[in-house]
Structure 1
């Protein structure tokens, strides 16, 4: 970790340093992950590993865009009820999760934050996030922003991996191979077996969709390509954030 990254992390600051950091930050960022199953070859911490490392990429590159990001500790639990049938999944209720996001936003606002960015790395969090940020913006007057990281990378990912690269598939396997390769069970990587495809009906749990717990084909992971995606996606998100200040 370089000194620039360290200076952006609230968890490593004293309260006096935090006081200054809140005053100077253009955005206070909450990285949101999850603790849930990711098939038989990846750990339950996939989304939180993505949250920590990909948000760190944003903070490190922010000065190049004349931005200062203050990064909060990763929130490692999310709304993962659809994965609860798999051991290791820990889920917050949707209402509980919304209230946590609101309380974090209210806390940083009290310390001087004027712009609150939720950086999300788990699809199940999206709807609770939108409701929580709506309340922060409307009821508490905190300018609130949202970046679901994968949305900014989707075109590149689909061009390389097609449209079936979802949960624990090519993309997420590539990310963990890039940042934490020792956590990938390479001998267990296998094309994921799809059970059902629901076009209209809502599925109850993820094991309605897949045998192993994932989607896509993790044997086609490509961590070198992922480096290109990280660089381009970091640039896209920061460009959007910079435009909010102009």
Structure 2
């Protein structure tokens, strides 16, 4: 067995925690949903947990006192309510959960929280705006792990769900959970008929079962573990740098 990691709360005891002065708390937040025919329902959770742990390790090794909370495994899936066992948490439910977490941090004097997002349907920015006004003593921020590096440096095929990026990441993190790519659907996804929605400057949620037959969006055929490793190296390096800088920062003096 590996030794407990001091930056992973689930592996840490009270004996350690009571002596520690953590500077940044990281809350991974994923989702439980279908990912084409070749990736498991837990894909978003597996990925965000890996990224959180690896970024925290890198930051910890550089002296930042970071602690990663257990992942929340359900996300916003309001566009997938008819896909069996895609579990939906409404944004208002996420707000209620986060309010309770932030209230604990504020009471205990933990100064900074990063919500590390692993699911495209989650968007915590407006939630954190509301909570920041309620809990000014806790600095609140969020980031989405798969946007922490330029995907075009690693992948050529477009997509955003069970695509080449996600499949490559899973081939590196948990290859035993990935079915043979020959079994995967091609991830063909329909586009909006309305130009503004198609171009992205107007928005509405996608009704997933109308968009894609296999629940994927993007062809995973070109995925490799090597591409996943390269992406995750870049992502965790960038996120670790953010955590190091945030740990050292004074939230009252962030601008230059």
Same fold (TM > 0.5): yes
Specify the alignment match of 1:124 in structure 2. 121
How far off is 1:240 after superposition?
A: 2.5
Greater percentage in helix: 1
Per-residue deviation, residues 67-112 of structure 1 (Å, max 9, x unmatched): 1211100000111111222112001111111111121121223222
Q: Is the 8 A contact 2:77 2:86 kept in 1?
A: yes
How far off is 1:115 after superposition?
A: 0.5
Distance 1:69 1:201 in 2: 36
How far off is 1:178 after superposition?
A: 1.2
Specify the alignment match of 2:172 in structure 1. 178
**TM-score scaled by length of structure 1:** 0.89
Q: Which has the higher contact order (CA 8 A, sep 6+)?
A: 2
Aligned in 2, Cα 1:220/1:144: closer, same or farther, shift over 3 Å?
same
Specify the alignment match of 1:147 in structure 2. 143
Specify the alignment match of 1:234 in structure 2. 236
SS in 1 for 2:148: helix
Distance 2:205 2:68 in 1: 35
Q: List 4+ stretches of structure 1 deviating above 4 A.
A: none
Distance 1:146 1:68 in 2: 18
Greater shift, 24-33 or 236-245, is seen at 236-245
The root-mean-square deviation of aligned C-alpha atoms, in Å, is 1.9
Q: Is the 8 A contact 2:187 2:217 kept in 1?
A: yes
Alignment: residue pair count? 239
Alignment gaps of 5+ in structure 2: 250-256
Answering whether residue 128 of structure 2 is matched by residue 133 of structure 1, we say yes
Per-residue deviation, residues 196-226 of structure 1 (Å, max 9, x unmatched): 3351462451122211111111111122122
How far off is 1:7 after superposition?
A: 1.2
Q: Is the 8 A contact 1:174 1:222 kept in 2?
A: yes
Alignment gaps of 5+ in structure 1: none
Specify the alignment match of 2:183 in structure 1. 188
Specify the alignment match of 2:78 in structure 1. 81
Q: Is the 8 A contact 1:117 1:144 kept in 2?
A: yes
Q: Is the 8 A contact 2:8 2:67 kept in 1?
A: yes
Q: Is the 8 A contact 1:32 1:119 kept in 2?
A: yes
Q: Which residues in structure 2 correspond to 1:1-246 (within 5 Å)? A: 2-3=2-3, 6-21=5-20, 24-126=21-123, 129-141=124-136, 142-153=138-149, 155=150, 157-162=151-156, 164-186=158-180, 187-197=182-192, 198-199=197-198, 200=202, 202-244=204-246, 245-246=248-249
